[in-house]
């Protein structure tokens, strides 16, 4: 996959993309990532890329010309592209959308900033407006990193074990079950005996129960999206009976 990011602050990305999963994906040639500074595409002698909003109001708005010019240059030659604008007004980002984007050959992410981006940018070239939550950040750099991280780990071959991504929270709507590793006992806290039993069927059922329990108590609305099996209904009945 090739991913280009257009931002006013490319230095924000450097530490993160040069470590962990993103570094590994780039080293393997599975992710080609380039950062572009929006100011490079300003024709103003002061490299200005924002201006006051028409109609008045606080703050500044990113101008359309530098962004349109940048995208035209950066994405030149791309036959198929998804152009993403990070914005609080966008569709909520979730695992399903991450999987969809992971199947693309090319992504271009525009990081919003200030009071927003001139609406003509979205009208002319943006294919996806994405929000990572119902809150406002200083800029779109953190949302861009969130999207990039979530998408990259779903590219086949990036993780050491592709099953890790398949078992993540939200991969099947449910939250993930609890995880444990050595030692079996620490300061009086024990690993559940079933995980030490070697009985794979009991372990599978315990994990399913725990995933349903976490989802029921923390994100019950997600259960409405899950096609419940007979076993799920049985386990949920037990969970509800526990109070």
Residues taking part in catalysis: 88, 115, 153, 168
Give yes or no for a contact between 33 and 172, defined as CB atoms under 8 angstroms apart.
no
Task: Give the list of residues 6+ apart from residue 129 with CB closer than 8 angstroms, or none.
Answer: 84, 85, 87, 89, 90, 91, 122
Distance (Å, whole) CA 74 – CA 44: 19
Selection from 145, 181, 177, 151 nearest residue 165 by Cα: 151
Task: Give the list of residues 6+ apart from residue 143 with CB closer than 8 angstroms, or none.
Answer: 86, 93, 111, 130, 131, 132, 137
């Amino acid at each position: 996959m090739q991913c280009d990011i257009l931002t006013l602050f490319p230095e924000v990305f450097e530490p993160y993309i040069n470590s962990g999963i993103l570094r590994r994906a780039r080293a393997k040639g599975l992710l080609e990532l380039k950062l572009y500074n929006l100011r490079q595409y300003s024709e103003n002698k002061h490299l200005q890329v924002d201006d006051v909003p028409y109609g008045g109001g606080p703050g500044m708005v990113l101008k359309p010309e530098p962004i349109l010019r940048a995208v035209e240059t950066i994405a030149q030659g791309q036959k198929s592209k998804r152009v993403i604008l990070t914005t609080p007004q966008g569709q909520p980002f979730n695992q399903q959308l991450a999987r969809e984007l992971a199947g693309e050959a090319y992504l271009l992410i525009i990081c919003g900033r200030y009071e927003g981006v001139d609406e003509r940018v979205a009208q002319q070239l943006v294919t996806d407006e994405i929000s990572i939550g119902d809150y406002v950040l200083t800029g779109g750099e953190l949302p861009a990193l969130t999207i990039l991280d979530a998408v990259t780990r779903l590219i086949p071959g990036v993780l050491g074990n592709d099953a890790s991504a398949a078992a993540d929270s939200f991969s099947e709507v449910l939250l993930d079950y609890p995880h444990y590793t050595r030692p079996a006992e620490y300061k009086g806290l024990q690993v559940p005996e079933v995980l030490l039993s070697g009985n794979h069927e009991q372990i599978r059922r315990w994990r399913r129960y725990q995933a349903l329990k976490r989802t029921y108590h923390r994100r019950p609305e997600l259960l409405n999206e899950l096609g419940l099996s007979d076993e799920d209904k049985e386990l949920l009945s037990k969970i509800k009976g526990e109070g």
